[in-house]
Amino acid sequence: MTLLAIAAIAAPALPTSAARAQTAEVTQHAALSAAAQSDSSKSDSAKPSAPQVNGASDVPPVDDANPSQQKGLTAKAIETVKQVAKSAGDIFSRVPCLPPKGGAKSMGSLPHVAGKLASGEPVVIVAFGSSSTSGYGATSPEFTYPNRLAAQLRRQYPGADITVVNRGKGGDDAPEMMKRLQEQVIDMKPDMVIWQVGTNAVLRNLDPAETAKLVEDGIARIQAAGADLVLVDPQYSPRVTERAESAGQMVRLLHKVADLRHIGIFPRFEVMREWHENQALPIDSFVIADGLHMNDWGYACFAQLLGDDIIKSVGQIKLGVNVPSRVRAYRPM
């Protein structure tokens, strides 16, 4: 009997349907944490080993003729499921995830993904980016932002067929991402693409203007494929802010490109700065010790705010309201 089968047996022990959905997310995406890499090659050596939630290498062979072994594995699986459900449910219990104090405006119309969610059609969302997308710094696959986003949307739309594909690769920025854009993003025929970009360009001293041009080219290709698109700018963290001039230019150019192409943008830099400056959260409450990557709470709050805006867009579609895409979410600039 495999651990996956045992987890399926144990599932009824979960307290809520939402917790079961989050646990399923863990088993489906356990490999992501092990694959997560640093945004910068310099931080690779500091990379912690990610837990193998359902990794075969951590599970001893099961002897079907040994009831005591089966019982022990079953109990362990049930306890793991309970712990996953608890951690997924109470990550905001100590520090709540609050929207920016200026209020949250709509990200604008996301007609493809919102229309499909509103009508109950299958939805494919591709999370495209570097290690912030793959989940470096998260202690479990469930806490990567794509998995948190998927769990939130599935709770909101329990009857919907929602797929969130993680296409994050540590160390990449626009030059590398453009090389895999067709195969790993466009060929997936996504309804929505969330493109996190720009951090490694800052860390590698790449020209922000050249990065913005590549991103604009990529946006045109994604739009031609018929997908909604949201950009995510660099994170507010010590390794980024120590290069203040380059980081500021990168953020401004990405917002300018989003305006020109009439797409949504999630201003992660400003949202994270508000956590620190206006909500008085210490940097180490949302950034790990490498001074660059987000921790479990940071990824979870990022996903929550992004998911809230997708849900608002679905509500607007149901009401027949089509908000212009140039209206941005959480935009203090």
Strands 162-168 and 123-129 come out as parallel
pLDDT at 3: 38
Buried b (16+ CB within 10 A) or exposed e, 42-58: ebeeebeebeebbeeee
- pLDDT tens for the chain, residues 1 to 333: 443 443 333 333 333 334 444 444 433 344 333 334 444 443 433 333 333 333 333 333 444 455 555 556 666 656 654 554 455 557 888 889 998 876 555 566 788 988 898 888 999 999 999 999 999 999 999 999 999 999 999 999 999 999 999 999 999 999 999 999 999 999 999 999 999 999 999 999 999 999 999 999 999 999 999 999 999 999 999 999 999 999 999 999 999 999 999 999 999 999 999 999 999 999 999 999 999 999 999 999 999 999 998 888 888 776 765 544 443 433 333
Give the Cα separation of 268 and 265 in Å (integer): 9
Give the Cα separation of 306 and 304 in Å (integer): 5
pTM score, two decimals? 0.72
Place of tokens 């999370």: 127
Residues 6+ apart with CB under 8 A from 250: 198, 201, 202, 208, 211, 212, 233, 234
pLDDT at 94: 81
Give CA separation, 333 vs 2, 193, 235, 251, 329, in Å: 52, 23, 15, 10, 11
Residues 6+ apart with CB under 8 A from 9: 74, 77
3-state helix, strand, coil in the chain (%, to 5): 55, 10, 35
In terms of DSSP H, where are the helices of 29-170? Answer: 31-35, 67-89, 111-119, 131-134, 145-156
Place of tokens 């660059």: 292
Please check whether residue 136 is in contact with residue 36, taking contact to mean a CB–CB distance below 8 angstroms.
yes
Report the SS3 class of residue 173.
Answer: coil
pLDDT at 303: 97
What letter does residue 214 receive in the DSSP assignment?
H
CATH code reported for the domain at 111-318? 3.40.50.1110
pLDDT at 291: 98
Question: H/E element holding 314?
Answer: helix 296-318
- Amino acid symbol at 132: S
Domain locations in the chain? Answer: 1-37+64-90, 111-318
